[in-house]
Amino acid sequence: MKIVETPIPDLFVLEPRIFEDSRGYFLETYSQKALELHGLTMNFIQDNESKSEYGVIRGLHYQLAPYAQTKLVRVVMGTIIDVAVDLRRNSPTFGKHFAVELNSVKKNMLLVPRGFAHGFSVLSETAIVCYKCDGPYTPEAERGILYNDSQLGIDWQVNSEKALVSAKDKVYPSFSQAEMNFIYGKERE
């Protein structure tokens, strides 16, 4: 598995080796050993899956520390734009976002560490997204940032007239008004 650094510290794109033949294909979707060899340690405890249609935008979601979650996101079917926003104060990329196309052909993944807001938009007719989490969902720690906040300037690559956004995601605060308690280098605390 190839682990690719992004312009944002601690945020990685994972590119698995895909072995194809006349029967189909095989790949490792997760390797603790590969991550540890890159200095990345986490203990995933839960897998989640969502199915969405074209134009759905989910996010930007996170949980406050100490309930924050690391997520390993992959697409089983379809294509998405996956987005992570750095919420770690004192980070050289605080308030910056990274977006990557994840799809079921390349089978690439995004490793989103604690201290980031996460969201995605669906570009294909349908998408099935799976992600591992290293912590449980904790409702009282759940927070979010408005997906179309002009300060962040995220291009979801979905026509705004065709965007399907939950009522909850439409009323989250802007980045500048959002509650966050992450400090760069202390995401595990």
Hey, which residues are catalytic here? Answer: 61, 131
Which string of DSSP letters, residue by residue, matches 24-41?
A: EEE--S--HHHHHHTT--
Which of 139, 83, 138 has the alpha carbon at shortest distance from 112?
Answer: 83
DSSP-based three-state secondary structure for 141 = helix
Q: Which of 44, 60, 64 is nearest to 115 (CA)?
A: 64
The dihedral sign for the CA sequence 38, 20, 112, 102: positive
Point out which residues pair with 26 in neighbouring strands.
19
